[in-house]
Amino acid sequence: MSTRTYDPISPQRVAFLGLGVMGHPMAGHLARAGHQVTVYNRTRSKADAWVTEYGGHAASTPRDAVNGATLVFSCVGNDEDLRSVVLGEQGAFAGMAPGAVFVDHTTASAAVARELSAVALTQGLQFIDAPVSGGNLGAVNGALTVMCGGDPAAFARAQPVAMAYSKAVTLLGESGAGQLAKMVNQIAIAGLVQGLAEAIAFGEKAGLDMKAVLGVIGKGAAQSWQMDNRGPTMIEGRFDFGFAVDWMRKDLGLVLAEAQRNGARLPVTALVDQFYADVQAAGGRRWDTSSLITRLR
């Protein structure tokens, strides 16, 4: 396992594919760090807007975007979105120079990471699966946690550049290990958020001042990032903090599918996934994950 902090490095020519709520600020940090950045987005207007804000260049296809890049980063929606920007005549692999490294920040399946890593090797390329934790706020603040799987030498090339938008970039094993680690992360978060929602709902029913209660128990064993950052906003009924219920359900779908393959038993995770389905049905598809509490009020 390898972790290190950011050290200044020589500017490199890089590409970034996918400029959503995560990719847009992540690519921006690369530009601010002095790298020559070419971006691609399926909706061209978003790429043009990024160039207006940060400089650099926008390309019409992934293949054009990666021309001359030593490192290519991506952050798209799911397995099929990832295949669409990587494979095919206009995909990134078709335009990357031998020896270049593709770093994928999409939360996707471990299977697609292994698939694309194998394809990359046949073309003299390297593929690192590198899903992130920290949400939009972490991307904007350059404070993401990145979980990686792949070749150690390729990781060593990509890691110092990725530190432009990260607080930690860690290699956890072979191809697919990054995606599996992100699944562990989402399992832990699902249980924490549900527990916090139940605690707040219980305290409200009991007539307690829950802001005061969280202030007390947050100094003890119950303390967590979710309590510190989402407890007060749960109490206020504010659910606009970036990581949408739709995205969490996509991630938990990956988790539960992997559990079927490896035999892991995830009763709480499966239950919380259904609770998120209830939130979706109530119109909360774009609410953030702390909206679980709406089921209990």
Q: Smallest Cα–Cα separation from 103: which of 7, 23, 20, 1?
A: 23
Burial of 10 (0-12, 13-18, 19+ CB in 10 A): exposed
User: What phi and psi, each to the nearest 5 degrees, are found at residue 168?
Assistant: -155, 135
Query: Would residue 211 show up in a list of annotated catalytic residues for this protein?
Result: no
Q: Name 281's Cβ contacts closer than 8 Å, sequence gap at least 6.
A: none
Cα gap 145→131, rounded to integer Å: 9
Q: In what order do the strands lie in the sheet with 132-133?
A: 132-133, 144-148, 166-171
| Amino acid present at 19 | L
End-to-end alpha-carbon separation of the chain, Å?
43
Q: Say which DSSP state 34 is in.
A: T
Cα gap 134→273, rounded to integer Å: 20
Helix, strand, or coil (residue 43): coil
Q: Smallest Cα–Cα separation from 246: which of 273, 285, 193, 282?
A: 285
Instruction: Choose, from 167, 182, 205, 211, the residue flagged as catalytic.
Output: 182
- Alpha helices by DSSP H, 206-266: 210-217, 225-236, 245-262
**Catalytic residue ranges:** 182
